[in-house]
Structure 1
Amino acid sequence: MTISVNAGSLPSDELEDRKDLAPPTATPLGGPMRTRSRRIFTSDDGRIVSGTWECEPGDSAWDFADRGEVIHVLSGRMTCEEKGGAKTEVGPGTTAVFPIGWQGTWTIHETLRKVFVIYT
């Protein structure tokens, strides 16, 4: 089976799951941050989930204690700061890996759309 989606061309109103960013995904550090997403694939054992995700600007704390994530940014930009580590600027065309155990903050400067793969 091959699944093919042009995640960058999906209109925001076609992203199915709409909610405010909240634990256990991440904790907003200011006001509400609206997210929209669409799952594209979930493995039979649930250990791999892939899709596209969009989030409005704001600051949030992330804790990948029990999972990791690989992202590829389609639009928007953010600054990622690992706890006790360096800041990394992420924007369109950037791929970033957040290994299991990563902790830090994401500052989303403009609405961010990414393709993600979450793994446990």
Structure 2
Amino acid sequence: MTHTYNPTAIDAADLEAKLLAPPSAEPLSGEIMTRSKVEFANDGRTVISGTWESDPGTSRWEFLTRAEIIHLLSGAMTVQRDGEEAVELRPGSVAYFPLGWTGVWTVTEPVRKFYVVYK
């Protein structure tokens, strides 16, 4: 079966709210509220996709057991891999965080992204 949905049309009330915390990421600028909804997960949960939102803040991410591809739908953020220059992401940007990627995300405007996590 083909599964389709429009991540820009999801109402914020349909998303589960929680504070950003390990093992997802370590907040560096105090508490950061996030909201998310898983839209797809295969049987082994080796592929998971959905919608994720984050309030502004800075956090450390370590992709040691999974990798992620994101498509930024709204907002703005910078991502900086350890030892590299920061990259700004805006609506329409797509970014890939391969297994082993470690660095800092700074959300400067509330963000909504579509993501695919795979192990």
Sort the TM-score into its range (normalised by shorter chain): over 0.9
Distance in 1, matches of 2:45 and 2:13, equals 26
Percent identical: 45
Deviation at 1:31, TM superposition (A): 1.4
Deviation at 1:89, TM superposition (A): 0.5
Distance in 1, matches of 2:25 and 2:104, equals 9
- Residue equivalent to 1:92: 91
- Residue equivalent to 1:103: 102
**1:1-120 → structure 2 map (5 Å cutoff):** 1-15=1-15, 17-120=16-119
Deviation at 1:46, TM superposition (A): 1.1
Gap regions ≥5 residues in structure 1: none
Amino acid at match of 1:9: A
Normalising by structure 1, report the TM-score: 0.97
Aligned-pair RMSD on alpha carbons?
A: 0.7
Distance in 1, matches of 2:89 and 2:111, equals 10
Distance in 2, matches of 1:11 and 1:31, equals 26
Distance in 2, matches of 1:108 and 1:115, equals 15
SS of the counterpart of 2:8? Answer: helix
Gap regions ≥5 residues in structure 2: none
Residues 67-120 of structure 1 show CA distances to partners (whole Å, capped at 9, x for unaligned) of 100000000010000001121100100100000000000000011000000011
